[in-house]
């Protein structure tokens, strides 16, 4: 889980090894009335530049909490939706 820092689009999360990872908020999409964040790693290694991380958004008062998507079916549904958006964008070019 992570909380969004105020006044910017950078999100910091802590992985299972205790490492802090910083992401840039790329977009927010809604699937089945649930919001999901599309995040880009800010310190991506050379081969991972186009990697997008999906996280579930939950509102906690004024803050958003970013949660990993543990359910494979939920993740696949959101990933398919995001891919369909990318396909539409490419078709418009």
d(CA 89, CA 93): 7
Which residues have C-beta within 8 Å of that of residue 3, sequence separation ≥ 6? 60, 63, 64, 65, 66
Domain that holds residue 77: 2-92
What pLDDT shows up at residue 6? 45
Could you give the number of structural domains in the chain?
Answer: 1
- For the beta sheet containing 34-41, the strands, ordered from the edge strand earlier in sequence to the opposite edge, are 2-3, 63-67, 53-60, 34-41, 20-31, 10-14
User: Could you tell me the pTM of the whole model?
Assistant: 0.76
Q: What is the pLDDT of residues 5-36, one digit of tens each?
A: 444 688 888 878 988 888 999 999 999 999 99
Q: What is the pLDDT of residues 72-91, one digit of tens each?
A: 999 999 999 999 987 777 77
What pLDDT shows up at residue 7? 44
Which residues have C-beta within 8 Å of that of residue 80, sequence separation ≥ 6? none
Contact 37, 58 (CB under 8 A): no
Is the pLDDT assigned to residue 55 strictly greater than 90?
Answer: yes
Is the pLDDT assigned to residue 3 strictly greater than 80?
Answer: no
């Amino acid at each position: 889980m992570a909380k969004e820092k105020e006044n910017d689009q950078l999100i910091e999360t802590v992985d299972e090894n205790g490492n802090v990872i910083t992401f840039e908020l790329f977009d927010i999409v809604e699937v089945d009335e649930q919001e999901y964040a599309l995040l880009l790693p800010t310190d991506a290694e050379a081969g991972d530049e186009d990697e997008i991380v999906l996280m579930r958004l939950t509102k906690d008062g004024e803050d958003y909490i970013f949660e990993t998507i543990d359910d494979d079916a939920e993740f696949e549904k959101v990933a398919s939706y995001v891919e369909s958006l990318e396909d539409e964008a490419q078709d418009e070019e």
